């Protein structure tokens, strides 16, 4: 039996065959769409739905260092643009500040203490939460 030609991409299937299976959906265009969606603040489930892949596929792709580095770079670049806009005081900076505060509350939100009161059914809703600053605590 002739040996498979490994000069094309060097990857072989488990059976030792070249180009077995369907083509990957992970194209440069797909990675760019995913990076943009995540950098805008969508979570993995929302991003997967947007680009029409399974959430577990996105989780698998995130295990690849090159893919995850691309995503992290896009998120960092978007954060830099938001912070620059906030710092410059340009029109609409408040929206960037609001989003940054909510996406990264540990870094940018004002610290506060929340006390949640359980209802008789054990549920917590906004009407049962008291929030005040650390200084007031």
Task: Tell me the per-residue pLDDT of 80-132, one tens digit each, with 9 for 90 and over.
Answer: 999 999 999 988 899 999 988 888 888 888 776 666 666 555 555 555 666 66
CA atoms of 136 and 99, how far apart (whole Å)? 25
- The pLDDT of 6-17, averaged and rounded, is 62
Q: What is the DSSP letter of 114?
A: E
Strands (E), 1-137: 112-116, 129-133
The pTM (predicted TM-score) of the whole model is 0.62
3-class DSSP assignment, residue 118: coil
């Amino acid at each position: 039996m002739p040996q498979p030609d490994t000069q094309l991409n060097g990857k072989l299937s488990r059976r030792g065959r070249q180009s077995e299976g369907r083509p990957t959906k992970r194209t440069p265009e797909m990675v760019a769409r995913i990076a943009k969606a995540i950098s805008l603040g969508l979570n993995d489930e929302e991003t997967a739905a947007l680009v029409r892949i399974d959430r577990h596929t996105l989780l698998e792709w995130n295990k690849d260092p090159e893919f995850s580095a691309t995503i992290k770079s896009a998120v960092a670049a978007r954060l830099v643009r938001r912070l620059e806009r906030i710092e410059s005081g340009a029109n609409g900076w408040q929206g960037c500040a609001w989003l940054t505060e909510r996406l990264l509350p540990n870094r940018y939100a004002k610290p506060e203490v929340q006390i949640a009161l359980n209802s008789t059914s054990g549920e917590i809703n906004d009407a049962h939460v008291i929030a005040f600053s650390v200084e007031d605590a």
